[in-house]
Amino acid sequence: MQAVCVALVRHEENVRLHSFDSFAYSSILYQMLGIQSKDANIETWRRFFRDGDAEISPETSVNPSKVVKDGMTTKFLLRMEDGLETESVILPIEGYKKTRQTLCVSSQVGCAMGCEFCQTAQMGLLRNLSVAEIIAQWHAARHALGTPIDNIVFMGMGEPMENIDVVINAIHILTDQNGPSIAPSRICVSTVGRIEGINQLACLARTNGYKRLSLAVSINASNDEVRKQIMPLAKSVSMESLREAMLDYPRHDCGGVMAEYVLIPGVNDSDEHAVEICEFLRPIGCHLNVIPYNPRDNSPWGKPTEDSVRKFISIARSTGQFVRRRITLGQEAMAACGQLGNPALKKKRGQYKLTMSLNKKD
């Protein structure tokens, strides 16, 4: 089944609207535009908007082209109109009262950040996803796979802050009470440290209705020297400037901002590193999520031992820092943190960019 993905832009109102499954999900459109017919089709919208007032994307599938399960997690691929694919993961997360289904969505095809420990970074960046392509990931999980989604985390392929305008517009759709109706408190956007994007997300988090929107910063090191070894962005963005942006991010009773720390054997897992990262985070007062490293293809590092993970967490907690260990899920399906990415697409990157360049000339 093909779904009509429509992005309508009323420039004078700066409103972006989306609909899927031949406008089955169209309550936002009907309410805001006053069009009540459930039989509305793409030509209806073409006629409604004047030339230049609408952006209507090509058809794209919201049925997964591939689904991989490992017993708990579900990784699925969506193939887009241009032949590229994006990966998403459904993760069951144990809560206090029930297990909540968390959808990890991608914001780009590939990634330009070049983090040494990440599978997606090995692909390089092919392109940003559109709002429709981000919403399609929710739609595929909720309707094609039949999984009620409780939480959304922008922690899949890509750096969300490199596509922040699109990500924010997607958040508007995901949180709309007439649409997916995901509470802002159940949405988290991750970044390796793009300050401009953090500041832009902070502006949204200060507005009514979005004040519980969360930010996760992938710190992954206790000092600039170590961070530069594994994260190229650290050469231009210091940890001090990153801390200032985290301090400026709006807080709420559940925190608002958290630090992510991928624990890599022999790189950032010493006793000194544990103490140093806690000293760095102390002025911020945020949670520290420790993520045992999930090796990418051809990784120079292996998994940390269970003893080393427990020791690092124990030392960090002894400083008074609140520490949570991220439960590792999806390794068998290459769906764990840092493992998303299709090596085959990397081989196609040069061909894809050449094709896009030729199309622009035409």
CATH code, domain carrying 248 = 3.20.20.70
Distance CA 34, CA 37 (A): 9
Answer with the one of 20, 43, 59 that is the final residue of a domain: 59
Crossing angle of helices 195-205 and 239-248, rounded to 10°: 10
Q: Which residues are CB-neighbours of 190 under 8 A, at least 6 positions away?
A: 153, 154, 155, 160, 215, 216, 217, 218, 260
Q: How many domains does the chain have?
A: 2
- DSSP, collapsed to helix, strand or coil, labels residue 297 as coil
Q: Show the beta-strand stretches assigned E in the chain.
A: 6-10, 15-19, 66-69, 74-79, 85-94, 99-104, 108-110, 125-128, 151-154, 187-191, 214-218, 257-263, 287-292, 323-325
Distance CA 214, CA 206 (A): 11
Q: Which residues are CB-neighbours of 233 under 8 A, at least 6 positions away?
A: 113, 114, 192, 193, 194
What is the reported pLDDT for 343? Answer: 59
Q: Which of 245, 172, 239, 235 is nearest to 215 (CA)?
A: 245
Q: Are residues 50 and 143 in the same domain?
A: no
Segment (H or E) for 135: helix 131-139
Q: Are residues 99 and 26 in the same domain?
A: no
Q: Are residues 210 and 299 in the same domain?
A: yes
What is the reported pLDDT for 133? Answer: 86
What is the reported pLDDT for 54? Answer: 42
Q: Are residues 252 and 337 in the same domain?
A: yes
What is the reported pLDDT for 4? Answer: 39
Residue 190: give the domain boundaries: 62-361
Q: Are residues 110 and 168 in the same domain?
A: yes
Q: Note the residue count of the chain.
A: 362
Q: Are residues 35 and 154 in the same domain?
A: no
Question: Position 302: which residue type?
Answer: G
Q: Are residues 158 and 89 in the same domain?
A: yes
Q: Are residues 48 and 87 in the same domain?
A: no
What is the reported pLDDT for 81? Answer: 78
In the chain, where does DSSP find H-type helix?
A: 27-33, 42-48, 131-139, 164-175, 195-205, 224-230, 239-248, 271-281, 306-318, 343-361
Answer with the one of 59, 87, 103 that is the final residue of a domain: 59
Q: Are residues 48 and 71 in the same domain?
A: no
Q: Are residues 8 and 108 in the same domain?
A: no
* Contact in structure between 289 and 243 (CB atoms under 8 Å): no
Count of beta carbons in the 10 Å neighbourhood of residue 49: 17
Q: Which of 115, 188, 278, 337 is catalytic?
A: 337
Q: Which residues are CB-neighbours of 12 under 8 A, at least 6 positions away?
A: none
Q: Are residues 72 and 110 in the same domain?
A: yes
* 10-residue stretch averages of pLDDT, the chain, 362 residues long: 41 41 40 37 46 44 68 83 87 79 94 92 90 85 83 96 94 81 94 97 94 96 98 97 97 85 98 98 96 90 96 98 78 44 58 48 52
Q: Is 337 marked active-site? A: yes
